[in-house]
Structure 1
Amino acid sequence: MTEKINRNNMSNNEEKLRYSFRNIGAGILFGIGVAAFIDETVFHQLLHWHHFYDKSTTDIGLVSDGFFHAFSWFATVAALFLVADLRRRNAFWPVKWWGAVLIGAGGFQLYDGTIQHKLMRIHQIRYVEDLLPYDLVWNGSAVLMIIAGSIILYKTRRRNSIPGGRK
């Protein structure tokens, strides 16, 4: 009898962990998609500050923006399908998911600001004389999103019950 209870507890804990990771994965993917969409829409299309790839012609830059825009939407839609599956299984944890969204968005923005802007130099935030204020705001806000998302996830780590009363 004790062996059966332990086996049930182990599978229950494994199920909770699996759904916890799915909530986090869906949130990170959604955060990446939304951050990419906002970046592409605001900075590429509306403000015309840069293209995804600025080391070639304007036409190539526009094509690269199109691929980047498609990526952002595919990531966002895929994440929402994962959320729909979690909701169907009554295993969606909104607070954990929002923490992961912040980590995904901040992670994307920090990657963009450090790897793509500085290391690969495929584009800059804006082409002006003094980039430092733009870099500080861009990368600083990314770090703040990552910290806020991490705090939220840290606070949800002990919430082990599956939503809707399933244990």
Structure 2
Amino acid sequence: MKKNKQVMYFNRNILSGILFGLGLVAFLDEAIFHQLLHWHKFYDKSTTSVGLISDGIFHVFSWFATVGGLFLVADLKRRNAFLYPLWQGSVLLGSGSFNLYDGIIQHKIMRIHQIRYVDNVIVYDVIWNLLAAVFIFIGIALLLKSKKRASEDI
């Protein structure tokens, strides 16, 4: 039974980090690129009003993910089962996954918005997707390192 609890807590650390990472980068994307820089809206294929509504829904999603991840962290800490290095890797994995999904699916396949509306958008796309891949790579490396360390402790 003890090993089952450890696996459950291990998975819960990963889930909380991924949720927090998704929410954090979604919040930063919305605050920086949508609100401060006015580069785009979440949905740019309609009126400004529809774009603002879509940004509001996107903002709600980011906060639900962030707060949900932090509630799981609080529960893990209460149970003395919070594994910070594992969580860090999960945050980076969630952040990078969101950005890669955004950059490939939403920007290129669905075309609901571009990162920026300029003639040479490829520069922005490459930087956005490379940064996402770096986050994913570092996140996976930290997860594997933490998993190895945890399996040695069991």
TM-score, normalising length from structure 1? 0.89
- Where structure 1 has 5 or more consecutive residues not aligned to the other structure, the ranges are 1-10
Question: Residue 82 in 1 paired to residue 96 in 2?
Answer: no
Q: Which runs of 5+ in 2 are unaligned?
A: none
Aligned equivalent of 2:23: 33
Alpha-carbon distance in 2 for matches of 1:134, 1:24: 30
The residue aligned with 1:93 is 83
Cα deviations by residue, 1:71-126 (Å, 9 ceiling, x for unpaired): 10111011100000000000000000010000000000000000000000000000
Q: Report the counterpart of residue 71 of structure 1 in structure 2.
A: 61
Amino acid at match of 2:140: S
1:24 maps to: 14
Instruction: Decide whether the 8 Å contact of 1:16 with 1:160 is kept in 2.
Output: no
Aligned length: 153
Q: Distance in 2 between matches of 1:114 and 1:160?
A: 34
Residue 112 (structure 1) aligns with = 102
Quick one: percent identity of the two aligned structures? 59
Deviation at 1:16, TM superposition (A): 1.1
- For residue 138 of structure 2, the aligned residue among 130, 135, 148 is 148
Q: Which runs of 4+ in 1 moved over 3 A?
A: none
**Using the alignment, how far apart are the partners of 2:139 and 2:53 within structure 1?**
33
Structure 1: how far apart are the matches of 2:142 and 2:148? 12
Please give the alpha-carbon distance, in whole angstroms, between the structure 1 residues aligned to 2:88 and 2:60.
23
Q: How far did residue 15 of structure 1 move?
A: 1.2
The Cα shift of 1:45 comes to: 0.2
CA distance in 1, matches of 2:12, 2:137: 20
Mapped pair 1:15 → 2:42: no
1:159 Cα shift?
2.6
| Matched residue type, 2:29 | D
Question: AA paired with 1:154?
Answer: L
SS at match of 1:55: coil
Q: Which of 120, 124, 128 is the equivalent residue of 1:134?
A: 124
Task: State which structure, 1 or 2, has the greater radius of gyration over its C-alpha atoms.
Answer: 1
Following superposition, the deviation at residue 14 of structure 1 comes to 1.3
Partner of 1:46: 36
What SS class does the counterpart of residue 16 from structure 1 fall into? helix
TM-score by length of 2: 0.96
| Number of the residue aligned with 1:5 | none
**CA deviation profile, 1:14-46 (whole Å, cap 9, x unmatched):** 111111000000000000000100000000000
